[in-house]
Structure 1
Amino acid sequence: MRTIAEINDKITKKSAVVCTVEELKARVAEAGISQTAKEVDVITTGTFEPMESSGAIINLGHTDPPIKIRSCWLDGVLAYSGFGAVDLYLGATQSVDYPSTLEAGDDPESKERGGGHVIEDLIAGKPIQLRAVGQVTDCYPRPSFETTITRDTINQFYLYNPRNLYQNFIVGVNGGDRPLYTYLGPLQPRLANAVYSNPGAISPLLNDPDLQLIGIGTRIFLGGGIGYVAWEGTQHFPLQKRLSNQTPIGPAATLALVGDAKQMNRRWVRGCYFKNYGPSLMLGVGLPLPVLHEEVVEKCAVQDKDLVAPIVDFSIPRRVRPTFGLVSYAQLKSGRIPIEGKQVRAAPLASIYLSRQVALELKQWIQEGKFTLSERVAAIPMDRSFLPQDRWGATIALE
């Protein structure tokens, strides 16, 4: 029906018809798939949820005399420095660990601060204290360095996120007898609550289940700026079991994303902390889906009742945990789900409201001609297996 070039021409002329994925679903219910496909050019999706496999690449610029940084802390948070002399990678989940910072025992908030908070503050233009220790060499004679940096006093500052946008995830519960503190937040004992992280039918990859539209080079909304799909994400597992509508029944595809953090907005990049687990990063990501043919609309018409996730018991400390079966996102969003004859309170870790706002802001960018679509340069592989590390028992036996 259309090509991306034709859609971009309409975007440039500000004549493209753009719908958020929720608007698209409502339109299909009223007019049907064929008519909707004729009328709509672009569908915008979005999510705002914790994405802990994220981080920032930072280049400081050389000092005088030069330093080859081997250890570095940003506001007390360790940044990886094992490559270029003044190149750093700041992981979102890295905790405060600089000795003088940890000694401030009267400030519990400092111990909850992590890489995600530093990234947020840099995006917001706030000053960050840098402390570095160098390896002295003939070409890098400086042994140490302290300064204050901001977004505007460093060369490169971009997010490179190895694993974002899980295509579906799990529902966490706790069948044990004590509270558990997890990457989904607190799980109360004896199945007192359930937590899910994916926003369901508005989630980007659930509306392109076979990744036919999304690939390497796809231009996206990332943290309030423009980003791109860089590669498949870590733990990418497209061979997950799927329903007849091709949506997976659990964690499946993932994407690696990249984007210039200097363009981003702290509204969409927020450091967070999970009690007794650690820091992380809440991130807004939006993907545009071009309506190239009717099948695009058919896939995007999927409803929460047609999507499921597994209920996983975190009280069993193993990689493969027992489940209480599958539950639909319609049930999850109702606020209660049935588990063993009991109605259990359910709540999302993702912000459904802000996920909708991401899709809406991306829609506005496209309507205003500020954001055009890109052709993918390569497909995301859909034949990746998931390889666990199950060598623990063998190691113990050898000892």
Structure 2
Amino acid sequence: MRTIAEINDKICRGQAVVWTVEEAKAQAAERGVTAAAKLVDVVTTGTFEPMEASGAIINLGHTDPPIKIRECRLDGVLAYAGFGAVDLYLGASQVAEAGRLGDSLEGDELRDRGGGHVIADLIAGKSVQLRASGYVTDCYPRAALETTISRERINQFYLFNPRNLYQNFIVGVNGGDRPLFTYLGPLQPRLGNAVYSNLGELSPLLNDPDLQVIGIGSRIFLGGGVGYIAWEGTQHFPLQKRLPNRTPVGPAATVALIGDAKQMEPRWVRGCYFKSYGPSLMLGVGVPLPILNEAVLAYCAVRDADLVAPVVDFSIPRRVRPTFGLVSYAQLKSGQIAIEGRRVRTAPLASQYLSREVAIALKQKILAGGFELTVPVAPLPADRKFIPQDSWGAEIDVS
């Protein structure tokens, strides 16, 4: 029906028709997919949720005399410094420590703050304390550095996130007899609650289940600024079992994202902390889906009743945990599900309200002519297997 070049031409002329994914589902239900597909050019999706597999690349600029950083902390959070004299990688889930540089701390000495908070502070324009020690060499004679940095006082500052936008995920429950503190938040004992993280029909990758219109190089909304899909994400598993509508029954595809953090907005990038688990980063991500043909909109018309996720028992401390079967997102969003005849209350980890706001913000950027779509330079892999580590030990002969 249309190409991305044709859609971009309409965006530049202010004539593009853009719907949020909720508007698209409503229009498809009212008019039918065929008629609705003739009207719309772009459908915007969005999510706002914790994405702990995120981080930031920071270039400090050289000091005088120069330093080659060996170890560095930003507001007490360890940043990786092993790939350039003054280049750092700050992971969102790295924990802040209360002690001095070089100390090894644990337990109560670890703060309820981490890399995600430091990233959010820098994006908000706040100053961050930097303390670093260096390798003393002939070309890098400085041994230590203590200063403050801000977004304006550093060179490059961009997010590079190895794994975001899970295409579906799990529902966590706890069949044990004590509370569990997990990456989904607290799970109450004896099936006291169920927590799900994916947004179902609002989720970006569930509306393009076979990744037909997005790929490497796709332009996205990232933290309020412009970002791109840089590669497949870690743990990318497109071979997950799928329903007849092509949506996966559990964790499947993921993407790696990149974007200039200096353009991002504090509203869409927030540090967070999970009690007795650790820090993370709440991040707003919006993905525009070009409606190139009727089939693309047909996938966007999927509803929560037709999307499922596995209910996983976290009380079993194994990589492969038992499940209580599959539940639909319609059931999850009703506020309760049934497990072995019991009613279990449910709660989302992602913000449905702010996820809708991301999709709306992206729609407004496109309608204003300031956000064109890109043609992917390569597809995301469709054949990646999931390789666990515990299967390798039996194959290693150490005799």
Aligned to 1:310: 310
After superposition, the C-alpha distances for 1:96-139 in whole angstroms (9 at most, x for unaligned) are 12524999x9xx89710100000000000000000000000000
Q: 1:102 to 1:185 in 2, by over 3 A?
A: farther
SS in 2 for 1:357: helix
Aligned to 2:132: 132
Q: How does 1:264-279 map to 2 (within 5 A)?
A: 264-279=264-279
Aligned to 1:254: 254
Q: How does 1:301-380 map to 2 (within 5 A)?
A: 301-380=301-380
Structure 2 contact 167–251 (Cα < 8 Å) conserved: yes
Aligned to 2:95: 95
Q: How does 1:1-399 map to 2 (within 5 A)?
A: 1-97=1-97, 99-100=99-100, 111-391=111-391, 394=394
TM-score by length of 1: 0.97
Which residue type is aligned with residue 241 of structure 2? K
Structure 2 contact 98–109 (Cα < 8 Å) conserved: no
Structure 2 contact 98–111 (Cα < 8 Å) conserved: no
After superposition, the C-alpha distances for 1:145-169 in whole angstroms (9 at most, x for unaligned) are 0100000000000000000000000
TM-score by length of 2: 0.97
How far off its partner does 1:255 sit? 0.0
Structure 2 contact 101–131 (Cα < 8 Å) conserved: no
After superposition, the C-alpha distances for 1:292-330 in whole angstroms (9 at most, x for unaligned) are 000011000000000000000000000000000000000
How far off its partner does 1:394 sit? 4.7
Query: How far, CA to CA, are the matches of 2:380 and 2:397 in structure 1?
Result: 39
After superposition, the C-alpha distances for 1:209-240 in whole angstroms (9 at most, x for unaligned) are 00001100000000000000000000000000
How far off its partner does 1:194 sit? 0.1
Which residue type is aligned with residue 121 of structure 1? D
Query: How far, CA to CA, are the matches of 1:396 and 1:77 in structure 2?
Result: 37
Query: How far, CA to CA, are the matches of 1:385 and 1:266 in structure 2?
Result: 37
Name stretches of at least 5 consecutive residues in structure 1 with no aligned partner.
none
Which residue type is aligned with residue 40 of structure 1? V
Which residue type is aligned with residue 140 of structure 2? Y
After superposition, the C-alpha distances for 1:257-284 in whole angstroms (9 at most, x for unaligned) are 0000000001111100000000001110
Equivalent pairs, count: 396
After superposition, the C-alpha distances for 1:163-218 in whole angstroms (9 at most, x for unaligned) are 00000000000000000000000000000100000011010000000000110000
Q: CA RMSD, aligned part only?
A: 1.8
> Aligned residues: percent identity?
75
Which residue type is aligned with residue 115 of structure 1? G
After superposition, the C-alpha distances for 1:42-90 in whole angstroms (9 at most, x for unaligned) are 0000000111000000000000000000100000000000010000000
Query: How far, CA to CA, are the matches of 1:374 and 1:313 in structure 2?
Result: 41
Query: How far, CA to CA, are the matches of 2:110 and 2:393 in structure 1?
Result: 38
Structure 1 contact 78–98 (Cα < 8 Å) conserved: no
Query: How far, CA to CA, are the matches of 1:17 and 1:83 in structure 2?
Result: 45
Name stretches of at least 5 consecutive residues in structure 2 with no aligned partner.
none
Query: How far, CA to CA, are the matches of 1:264 and 1:83 in structure 2?
Result: 25
Q: 1:250 to 1:49 in 2, by over 3 A?
A: same
Query: How far, CA to CA, are the matches of 2:177 and 2:5 in structure 1?
Result: 58
Structure 2 contact 158–261 (Cα < 8 Å) conserved: yes
Query: How far, CA to CA, are the matches of 1:7 and 1:391 in structure 2?
Result: 48
Query: How far, CA to CA, are the matches of 1:397 and 1:188 in structure 2?
Result: 43
Which residue type is aligned with residue 291 of structure 1? I
Query: How far, CA to CA, are the matches of 1:396 and 1:291 in structure 2?
Result: 50
